[in-house]
Structures are given as C-alpha cells and as structure tokens.
Amino acid sequence: MSTQVESGVALNIPSNSISHKLSVAPMLDWTDRHCRYFYRVMSKKTVLYTEMVTTGAILFGKGDYLAFNEEEHPLVLQLGGSDPAAMTQCAKIAEQRGYDEININVGCPSDRVQNGRFGACLMAEPSLVAQCLEQMQAAVDIPITVKSRIGIDDQDSYEFLHRFINEVSLAGCQHFIIHARKAWLSGLSPKQNREVPPLDYQRVYQIKQDFPDLEISINGGIKSLAEAGEHLSHLDGVMIGREIYQNPYLLAQADQTLWQSSSPVISRAQVIDEMADYIDGYVSDGGRAWHVLRHMLGLCNGFAGARLFRRHLSDSSGQAGADGKVLREAFARVSFD
C-alpha cells in the first residue's frame, strides 16, 4: 500500500502485483463466468474481466451478478455507475466476494448507459469519476482502475484526454485502459463505435510519455500476440476483446510469448478434455451445456472440420441430456493433418 497526498488528503493506493501485459476485454453477453473459465484453461497469466455489471444490478438485482469460479483469478469486476455512494458500496461487496480489482466503465457508448449517466459520457465529467474513484479507493484495499476512450463526440482533442487522465490520476487511479477510438454518443450503435471511429494508437503512446508513472494499457483493433508485443514496447499492457472471442486459442501461447513461461503450450485436445469435465459438472448442478459451449465455437477455426465442429455444438447442445460428450463428439469431426 502506498500513500499519495493531494490537496492535504492522504490517498491509500494499493500496490498492484498483477501483471497486465495481456487482458481480455469486458464484453457484454460474452465474458460470463463460463467464458472466463474457458480462457483460464488456456492462459494462467492473462487478466480476465467480467461483463460490465451495474451498481443497480448488484444492489437491487435478483440474481447473483458477481458469481465466478475460483480458478478465474486474476479477475477484475468492471463496474458501471456514477453515484459515488453506490459505487463505493459495490466496491466493498466486490472486495468481500474476492475480486482482485475493480474497473470503472468510462468507455461504453450505448444509449442505456448514457441514460444511467455512466459509460463513455463520464469522460465529460472527470471530477465525478475522480470523486467515485477516491471514495471507492478509501473504502477498499484492492485497486480501482478506469477504462475510457480517447474522446467523445467533438470533445476529441489530445488536451481533452490529457485533462481527463490528469484529474482522475490525482484522485488515485494508477492504471488506465484506453480504447484507442473516440466514441460517438449519438448517431452510431455500440457495434459501430467499435469499428467506425479511427484508431489512434499514437495518442495512447503520448499519454504514457506524458504520464510515465502511470500504468497505461491499450485496447482496440489488436488481433495477435505479435501486435500485442509491438504495443508493449510503448505501453504497459494490451487488452484484446473480439479477436480472442472469435479465435480463443490465441490465448494458448500467451503465457509463453508474453511472460516467458516455461510451461508447455496446452493443446486443443487438452482444452477439450478440461472443458468437457467442466460442462459435466455444470450440467450435474442443473445448468445447460449450451451456456458453456456457445463460447467455444471458434476453438478450431482454420482447420478442416471447423464448420462441422461449430454445427455439432449448435445442433446438439440444446438436446435433452447434453453434456461434455457433445464437445468431445464435435472435436472428433476436426482434422489437424
């Protein structure tokens, strides 16, 4: 724990022992606990994020939105909200539940989050983000981080981003994940906001140069571990989202490539065995195989039989009695010769 003094107020800032060289982006409807378990089977080092969970869901929702498997660590809760009291209460709950970090969503551009006054629109209110972060950090002993865009709408100058980073970092944030696109809060869908605004990696590099003591990670358009390595020559971390979801086996070599792990690279066959056992356990507890299998459709992409693999998972996972056997049967349809 380090202490930073700003305006006469002592800020307790937890030291972060997690290596953020590579992380999987929080993705709504995708990075649930089954998806994260699947990713952890392939990489022990990559940092995993939950889907964005709102303060309202945690405090008033009927389901357990914070459930996870112990194997998922290091694990970050991405939290959506803007009320300091609610954010602080949720931070306490997340720490009690065992999360390693909490990340404040200041990047999602959807109408729903704008109506709730959180997500990317908060880039225009750095003082509110700073207030949330400062109160959260004072209440818990785990790090609070921020994920943002490089700008919003016509507020897209470098000076705008610099002011945001500066004000929030003075409140105690030591790690920023920056999606290297700005967000259009009206006129573009969330999907278009992930593709249409141009990427500006150099702007994120400049932030690192201007704030060398901060941990800066980059997100947006990164498609390989080789590209990740290039960014790591300028920055502290890389976050990849859709590319990992569509081609998850990319994670299998992450530990060896980025962390120089001496452990052997896990084979697809080993992944299948571990996940089939996981599915059997989940089904025996009353779950449905498809809840897990839907995240595994891209595991064999690029090989003969990959289409048959996907089709068998889709067609058979909804049948009565479907379990890990469905996954093994689908894998038998793939040729790696």
Question: Which one from 108, 121, 132, 300 is the annotated catalytic residue?
Answer: 108
Using CA atoms, how far apart are residues 31 and 51, in angstroms rounded to an integer? 5
Q: What CA–CA distance (Å, rounded) separates 48 from 132?
A: 23
For residue 267, give the DSSP letter: P
d(CA 32, CA 105): 17
CB 258 within 8 A of CB 21: yes
Query: Which of left, alpha, beta for 321 (phi over 0: left; psi -120 to 50: alpha)?
Result: left
The conformational region for residue 7 under phi > 0 = left, psi -120 to 50 = alpha, else beta, is: left
Radius of gyration, CA atoms only, the chain = 20
How many CA atoms, within 13 angstroms, populate the side-chain half-sphere of residue 143?
23
Q: Which residue has the tokens 């100058």?
A: 157
Q: Are strands 175-179 and 144-149 parallel, antiparallel or unpaired?
A: parallel
- Give catalytic status of residue 108 as yes or no: yes
How far apart, in whole angstroms, are the C-alpha atoms of residue 23 and residue 185? 26
**Residue 39 is inside which H or E element, if any?**
helix 33-42
Q: Is the peptide bond before 74 cis (omega within 30 degrees of 0)?
A: yes
* Phi/psi at 267 (5° precision): -85, 160
Residues designated as active site: 108
